[in-house]
Amino acid sequence: MLDQLSLLSFASGGWGQALLAGALVTVSLALACLPIGLPLGLVVALAARSRKRLPRAWATTFSTVFRGLPELLTLLIIYYGCQIAAQKILAALGYEGEVLINTFLAAMAAFSLVFAAFSSEIWLMAFKTLPKGQLEACAALGLSRRTAFFKVLLPQLTRIALPGLSNNWLSLLKDTSLVSTISLIDLMRQTNLAVSVTKEPMLFYGVACLVYLLFSALSGRVFALLERRSNRHLQGARP
């Protein structure tokens, strides 16, 4: 038992530092997808509500493709597809060297697109729950459409969408384990390396389970805090 625990130490011969570094990559990748996936999902939702046919068609196609494809397939297509496309473009310009795409950036792009597709459905449902006529009321008060959206509608949309977005975040956090297939050194990649070297699968896979459960628990606390903060004015308005 002590020999097994020593494998998790941060000393020489232990895998603690490697697992910690992999866990940081996992969290960093998931967090890096939020600034892209969240606003892109909102843009897709707005396009789906557009009165023009072209934006609606684009939104439907985007949502259908990236919600329908397995996340692993999306990751592999973007990773290898970008390399092949860049190779052909540079070859046409006379460059014959090998082109390698950064694995972290490729994974960030792939998971951001998937996250945007799923979050767009959450944004759409939030739009449907808003009271009708709010834009007209804002116009009657002399507010521009831009000001009305960012100052009046978006805070309400965010409050309504938070529970659904929290589920999407947890899915994103778990999906990051797929990046080990393109050799990005995340938590699962380090875990697999540790298992192959030490032949202790239950120990290291058990530790990986605990780390993901810890991430999920912390995420739940953060989203619960955000929901309470966004609902403060509603609680204050109750008799």
pLDDT at 108: 95
CA distance 39 to 19: 32
pLDDT of residue 213: 95
Q: Distance (Å, rounded) from C-alpha 36 to C-alpha 24? A: 19
Per-residue pLDDT at 116: 97
131: phi > 0 → left, psi -120 to 50 → alpha, else beta; which? beta
Amino acid identity at 161: A
| Res 188: pLDDT | 93
Q: What is the spatial distance between Cα 36 and Cα 43, in angstroms, rounded to a whole number?
A: 11
Q: Residue written as tokens 């795409």?
A: 101
Calpha distance 66→73 (Å, rounded): 10
- C-alpha 114/C-alpha 76 separation (Å) is 13
Phi-psi region of 142 (alpha: psi -120 to 50; beta: other; left: phi over 0): left
Closest CA to 233 of 136, 158, 166, 148: 158
Number of Cα atoms under 13 Å in the Cβ half of residue 73: 6
Query: pLDDT tens, position by position, for the chain (239 residues)?
Result: 556 677 888 877 788 899 999 999 999 999 999 999 999 999 999 999 999 999 999 999 999 999 999 999 999 999 999 888 888 888 888 877 777 889 999 999 999 999 999 999 999 999 988 877 777 777 777 778 788 888 888 888 999 999 999 999 999 999 999 998 998 999 999 999 999 998 889 999 999 999 999 999 999 999 999 888 887 766 554 44
Is the separation of the CB atoms in 132 and 89 below 8 Å? no
Give residue 239's pLDDT.
Answer: 43
d(CA 133, CA 150): 16
Taking the model in full, what pTM does it have?
Answer: 0.89
What integer pLDDT is reported at residue 4 of this predicted model? Answer: 67
Label each residue of 152-205 as H, E or C.
HHHHHHHHHHHHHHHHHHHHHHHHHHHHHHHCCCCHHHHHHHHHHHHCCHHHHH
